[in-house]
């Protein structure tokens, strides 16, 4: 099939995730056909620097044969066996071991799933099981944040705080949402530091309002990813930690994006110095080569759910899929052996911070923020009032298209442009990324004038 035939069949048979089917039918799809290193190429031969690591997952880029060969060899040796009914496989044991090693010291057990959404569903099951076994069954409510993303199953989407999603399904009724730490969008006249404290105090208020004896857990991404790379003010996490320390409430860190090195530390929890009770992971754990997710369980929780009898009636056919576990092992071994995360922390993150900050001088950029290897640009019509161009987020959509045209994949979340490039990005490629982003901003400014 040629390009237009492929697009035609796509239109006729393929329902895409998070897509306006009607619009897509008119515009047609972008067909990505190959990739090498940190670049992807479409069917027209247009090569782009992938500033989003696929969908926050290909942190080592697209050319790691160690991972694909590990999967292939496992598929030939033992393509599948489950871990139900007292069975297990070698790759799943080895990956569990390795995860216990690289995650924070107090986390030594893992429950494998097929995705991040499933892992958050698993968290809901573990949280309830934990409090039931502790004879505190009235602890049921889970607090999350507005504009959080925790996946797209009913559990994941209920935990998430995106209003557009909530309009299209019936949310679980034991989940509450509070203020997000989004200073640029919602900080008003407060300084970032004041606003960070304020947003953390909202958690305390909510706990008091609901009653601490009713609250089971608080779930958060260390930095909101899909919500628009919302890097909380520096005062936020220390204050949240103080709040949580006062109450007997579990902390679930959703590390699906920030796990495995994106901040320059192994986990966002390490970066912010918080000690979660449960930690969701997925995406980069296999470098996107094979579906795998899971949740790391702290000793505090594991001791309870492992020592009391009775079956935990939960699991997925593909929990601990052997080929997925081999992909995870190969990926984590590369991260360790090549000191990828140390290189982000010591070299490329500081370099990106410096180069990315230069974009703040652009006439349509209200804020340029970055941390580790993520960045965001707030597109505005007026820098001092932070006013947007319109309420339809036209500028973001235009900038995304301009960026792709200029050979850089940036994503638009409303009028916030975001990047999360592969962790193997070199300083030369950071220069390329920033130059292409600037050109996209110039083109956007012209188009919006």
Phi, psi at 34, each rounded to 5°: -155, 170
Min CB(93)–ligand PLP separation in Å:
23
From its phi and psi, is residue 381 left (phi > 0), alpha (psi between -120 and 50) or beta? alpha
- Alpha-carbon span 296 to 325, nearest angstrom: 15
Using the minimum distance from each CB to ligand PLP, give the nearer residue, 254 or 270: 254
| Percentage helix, strand, coil for the chain under 3-state DSSP, each rounded to 5 | 45, 15, 40
Considering beta carbons, is residue 141 or 257 the nearer one to ligand PLP?
A: 257
Closest among 190, 278, 207 to 242, alpha carbons compared:
207
- Secondary structure of residue 372 in the 3-state scheme: coil
- The region of 111-119, 123-131, 136-144, 350-358 touching ligand PLP under the rule CB under 6 A is 111-119
Instruction: Tell me, residue by residue from 424 to 443, as one string, x for binding to ligand PLP by CB under 6 A and - for no binding.
Output: --------------------
Residues with Cβ within 8 Å of residue 92, at least 6 apart in sequence: 83, 112, 320, 322, 325
Closest by CA to 228, choosing from 112, 362, 379, is 379
Chain centroid to CA 90: 28
Least distance in angstroms from the C-beta of 20 to ligand PLP: 19
C-alpha 187: how far from chain center: 23
Q: Which of 121, 204, 221, 378 binds ligand PLP (CB under 6 A)?
A: 221
Among 51, 54, 116, 228, which residue sits at the site for ligand PLP (rule: CB under 6 A)? 116
How big is the CA angle at 190 (ends 393 and 356), to the nearest 5 degrees?
55
For position 159 contacting ligand PLP by CB under 6 A, the verdict is: no
x/- binding map, residues 57-96, to ligand PLP, per CB under 6 A? ----------------------------------------
CA distance 85 to 203: 41
Binding mask 277-316 vs ligand PLP (x if CB under 6 A, - otherwise)? -----xx---------x-----------------------
Q: Are 61 and 424 in contact (CB under 8 A)?
A: yes
131 vs 290, which CB is nearer to ligand PLP?
Answer: 290
Q: Which of these ranges, 80-88, 221-229, 331-339, 413-421, lies near ligand PLP under the rule CB under 6 A? A: 221-229
Among 54, 151, 228, 396, binds ligand PLP (CB under 6 A): 151
Select 116 or 233, whichever has its Cβ closest to ligand PLP. Answer: 116
Name the nearest CA neighbour of 80 among 310, 434, 302, 324: 324
Which residues does residue 220 pair with via DSSP β-bridges, in sequence order? 253
Instruction: Tell me the two tokens of residue 107.
Output: 């986390």
Among 7, 92, 115, 403, binds ligand PLP (CB under 6 A): 115
Residue 150 interacts with ligand PLP (CB under 6 A): yes or no? yes
CB closer to ligand PLP, 50 vs 204: 50
Give the residue with the Cβ less far from ligand PLP, 274 or 282: 282
| Minimum gap (Å) between residue 23 Cβ and ligand PLP | 22
Residues between 245 and 264 with contacts to ligand PLP, criterion CB under 6 A: 254, 256-257
List residues binding ligand PLP (CB under 6 A): 115-117, 149-151, 221, 225-226, 254, 256-257, 282-283, 293
């Amino acid at each position: 099939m040629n390009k237009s035939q492929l697009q035609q069949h796509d239109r006729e048979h393929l329902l895409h995730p998070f897509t306006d089917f009607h619009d897509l039918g008119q515009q047609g799809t972008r067909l990505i056909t190959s990739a090498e290193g940190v670049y992807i190429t479409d069917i027209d031969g247009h090569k782009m620097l992938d500033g989003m690591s696929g969908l926050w997952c290909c942190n080592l880029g697209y050319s790691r044969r160690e991972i694909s060969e590990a999967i292939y060899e496992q598929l030939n040796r033992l393509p599948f066996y489950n871990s139900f009914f007292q069975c297990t496989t070698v790759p799943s044991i080895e990956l569990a071991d390795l995860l216990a090693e690289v995650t924070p010291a107090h986390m030594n057990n893992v429950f494998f799933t097929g995705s991040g959404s499933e892992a958050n569903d698993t968290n809901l099951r573990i949280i309830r099981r934990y409090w039931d076994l502790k004879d505190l069954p009235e602890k049921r409510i889970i607090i999350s944040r507005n504009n959080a993303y925790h996946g797209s199953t009913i559990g994941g989407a209920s935990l998430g705080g995106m209003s557009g999603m909530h309009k299209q399904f019936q949310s679980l009724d034991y989940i509450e949402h509070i203020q997000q730490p989004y200073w640029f969008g919602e900080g008003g006249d407060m300084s970032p530091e004041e606003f960070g404290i304020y947003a953390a105090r909202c958690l305390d208020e909510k706990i008091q309002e609901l009653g601490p004896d009713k609250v089971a857990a608080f779930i958060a991404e260390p930095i909101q990813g899909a919500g628009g790379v919302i890097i909380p003010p520096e005062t936020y996490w220390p204050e949240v930690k103080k709040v949580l320390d006062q109450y007997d409430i579990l902390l679930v860190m959703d590390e699906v994006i920030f796990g495995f090195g994106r901040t320059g530390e192994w986990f966002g929890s390490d970066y912010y110095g918080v000690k979660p009770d449960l930690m969701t992971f997925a995406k980069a754990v296999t470098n996107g080569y094979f579906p795998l997710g899971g949740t790391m369980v702290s000793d505090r929780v594991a001791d309870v759910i492992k020592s009391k009898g009775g079956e935990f009636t939960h699991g997925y056919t593909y929990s601990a899929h052997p080929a997925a576990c081999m992909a995870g092992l190969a990926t984590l071994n590369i991260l360790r052996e090549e000191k990828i995360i140390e290189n982000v922390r010591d070299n490329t993150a500081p370099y990106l911070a410096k180069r990315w900050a230069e974009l703040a001088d652009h006439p349509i950029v209200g804020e340029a923020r970055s941390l580790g290897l993520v960045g965001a640009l707030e597109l505005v019509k007026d820098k001092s009032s932070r006013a947007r161009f319109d309420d339809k987020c036209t500028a973001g959509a235009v900038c995304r298209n301009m960026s792709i045209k200029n050979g850089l994949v940036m994503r638009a979340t409303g009028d916030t442009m975001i990047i999360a490039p592969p962790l193997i990005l070199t300083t030369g490629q950071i220069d390329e990324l920033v130059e292409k982003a600037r050109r996209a901003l110039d083109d956007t400014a012209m188009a919006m004038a």
